[in-house]
Amino acid sequence: MKLKYLFTSLILALGITTSAQAAENYAFDIKGQHAFIQFKIKHLGYSWVIGNFNTFTGSYTYDEAHPANNSVTTEIDVASIDTNHAERDKHLRSADFFDVSHYPKATFTSTSFEDKGNGSAVLKGKFTLRGITKEIAFDVNQVGAGKDPWGSFRRGFSGSTTLHLSDYNMVKAGMLGAAAENVELFFSIEGVRQ
């Protein structure tokens, strides 16, 4: 009886260890510049303004066997906004828009990951901008995974969502026209397994 109990305990312990090892931790490849957070917004309804946030950090956990365990955290330096126009970027950093002197960081912390199959998923989480936190959802696709030429293992994802400027009290956004209420946010993240 003791032998049976010991054998069962050993099997359970191995199962727990295997499950724990299935989760992989990744850091955004910021140094190699293989991670991007970009956006586009309509200007007066006539054209698109396209920009980046050039400085951010992040990490994620990926568990292929148990997708519900997948999680992401990101912190964005909002002052790093770059639309390829210095005066516009200065205005976007002002209190009219991002108010970076009071709210220098934007953050995203995931709350759920729903696997839709074929590498697609819905990633939900809490996004904080200008001190206001809203639940948002990204449509996500896994781009690929594998070893790189330098001996590391990489896994990449892309995703998009639509934000509404009025949700974050960007009071001057109306000067860009009604079409500027919606901002399309896109990310492409390559992570290096730690």
The CATH number linked to 183 is 2.40.128.110
- The whole-angstrom separation of Cα 67 and Cα 63 is 5
State the pLDDT confidence band at 44, using cuts at 50, 70 and 90. confident
C-alpha 134/C-alpha 143 separation (Å) is 27
Query: At 7, is the pLDDT very low, low, confident or very high (cuts 50, 70, 90)?
Result: very low
At which residue do the structure tokens 């912190």 appear? 75
Tokens at residue 45, please?
């309804």
Percent of the chain whose pLDDT exceeds 70: 86
Residue 21 clears pLDDT 80, i.e. is over it: no
Is pLDDT at 8 greater than 60 in this prediction? no
- pTM metric for this prediction: 0.85
| Within a domain: 4 | no
Any domain includes 7 = no
| In-domain check, residue 57 | yes
Average pLDDT over residues 56-77: 97
Mean of the per-residue pLDDT values of the chain: 89
In a domain, 2, yes or no: no
The pLDDT confidence band at residue 45, using thresholds 50, 70 and 90, is confident
Answer yes or no: is 9 within a domain: no
User: Does 102 map to a domain?
Assistant: yes
- Give the pLDDT band of residue 43 (cuts 50, 70, 90): confident
- 65 neighbors 141 (Cβ within 8 angstroms): no
Confidence of residue 23 (pLDDT cuts 50, 70, 90): very high
Q: Report the C-alpha gap between 33 and 166 in whole angstroms.
A: 31
State which residues form the domain around 37. 24-193
The predicted pLDDT at position 19 comes to 46
**Could you read off the pLDDT of 178-194 as tens digits, one per residue?**
778 899 999 999 999 99
Question: Which pLDDT score is estimated for 86?
Answer: 97
In a domain, 13, yes or no: no
* pLDDT tens digits, one per residue of 123-146: 999 999 999 999 999 999 999 999
Segment 25-39 shows an average pLDDT of 95
User: What is each CA distance from 177 to 103, 140, 172, in whole angstroms?
Assistant: 24, 29, 10
Residue 18 included in any domain: no
User: What's residue 145's pLDDT?
Assistant: 97
- Number of folded domains in the chain? 1
